[in-house]
Amino acid sequence: MIDIPRFGLGCAPLGNLFRQFSDTEADAILEAAWAGGVRYFDTAPHYGLGLSERRLGRFLATKPRDEYVVSTKVGRLIRENPSWDGAAMDDDGFVVPARVRRQLDYSATGVRASVEESLQRTGLDRIDILYVHDPERSGVPGATESAMAALAELRDEGAVSAIGTGSLGVDALLASARTGLADVLMVANRYTLLDQSVVPELLQACDEYGVRIVAAAVFNSGLLASSPRRDAKYDYETVPEDVFTRAVEIDKICAAHGVALPAAALQYPLRDPRVISVVAGAADPGQIRENLAHLGSAVPPALWVELTERGLVPPLVR
């Protein structure tokens, strides 16, 4: 199992998530991350229809290959879009032209094609970690198991160091763990201050099969990245009223303990020994520096005790 740094940069924004980023802005985010000591970078073909992989690869070409860890994902092939009208933009949240499209493919052939194409886009000699990306979207029974078997073959061949599944879907993550093939799961949005869907079943499966967790999207798409705002996103959508109310209550308790909400959000999943890393994106270099500062700030144990006693987070399952 490869050593995964405690903090990783989520590279969806490099694919123009929610707004257009220039190459200069993308490079500045990556430079700030590198200068701050970040050495784990997570991307995917899905992010900007390959744009994130290309930008990340171009940046990492200037860095020593053995000094960083890269993960990307399989399950979505990027293919020409014959129906593109020359103007339409991607309708999946990324501000990029829809001249290409995503083709879901979790087969062994599709997995190998995806890896080869990610290597071409990034220009890397290898990918360190490969995740099956959102297999629940396939609509095909057994997609998780099929893709995991294909990734296991690549691992056996020495083409990748670690494999698993990255998803918001707890059932897909469970299926991946129960194959007995996964090294690590990227749990997106489901092990946060506002959502602990991993408890207890997925955590128990991780224990049974010796699987580690990378907690991604720990800000739940932005709601926990600062004191809660009405215009923030939650799971990429508008924030439900009950969730907003709970976020405000958590924020007040954090403030009473002298802790910034994003610091608590970043450190919350790391209390669990199964969690070896947290991954968060950034829209500008300042956010990188803020996240690293929050990650290193002191959080008194009394905060977690009060959040648990008030029923806002469950007791830690060890």
- pLDDT tens for residues 171-193? 999 999 999 999 999 999 999 99
- Bridge-based pairing of strands 233-234 and 212-216 is unpaired
Q: Given this model, what pLDDT does residue 133 score?
A: 98
In a domain, 63, yes or no: yes
Measured in degrees and rounded to the nearest 5, phi and psi for residue 59 equal -70, -45
Q: How many residues does the chain have?
A: 318
**What CATH number is given to the structural domain containing 34?**
3.20.20.100
State the burial class of residue 95 (Cβ atoms within 10 Å of its Cβ: 0-12, 13-18, 19+).
middle
DSSP class of 94 = B
Residues with catalytic function: 47
Residues 6+ apart with CB under 8 A from 267: 294, 295, 299
Judge if pTM exceeds 0.85. Answer: yes
Q: Which residues does 219 contact at the CB level (< 8 Å), separation at least 6?
A: 192, 225, 262, 265, 280
Whether 306 is in a domain gets the answer no
Question: Could you tell me which of 177, 243, 187 has the C-alpha nearest to residue 211?
Answer: 177
pLDDT at 317: 81
Q: Which residue has the tokens 């939650």?
A: 234
pLDDT at 1: 73
Residue 122 inside a domain? The answer is yes
Number of separate domains in the chain: 1
Residues 137 and 99: beta-carbon distance below 8 Å? no
Residue 144 falls inside a structural domain: yes
| Residue 239 located in a structural domain | no
- pLDDT the model gives residue 223: 95
Q: What is the predicted pLDDT for the residue at 318?
A: 77
Q: Which two tokens stand for residue 114?
A: 């995806």
**Residue 176: predicted pLDDT:** 98
Radius of gyration of the chain from its Cα atoms, rounded to whole angstroms: 19
Within the chain, which residues score under 50 in pLDDT? none
317 domain-assigned: no
In this predicted structure, what is the pLDDT of residue 2?
87
Distance (Å, whole) CA 187 – CA 57: 24
> What is the token pair recorded at 63?
């860095």
Is 44 inside a domain boundary?
Answer: yes
pLDDT of residue 164: 98
Q: Whole-angstrom Cα distance, residue 178 to residue 105?
A: 21
CA distance to 1, 51, 186, 228, 289, per residue, from 225 (Å)? 31, 25, 19, 8, 13
Range of the domain at 282: 7-231+262-298
In angstroms, the CA 20 to CA 123 distance is 23
pLDDT of residue 212: 98
133: in domain:
yes
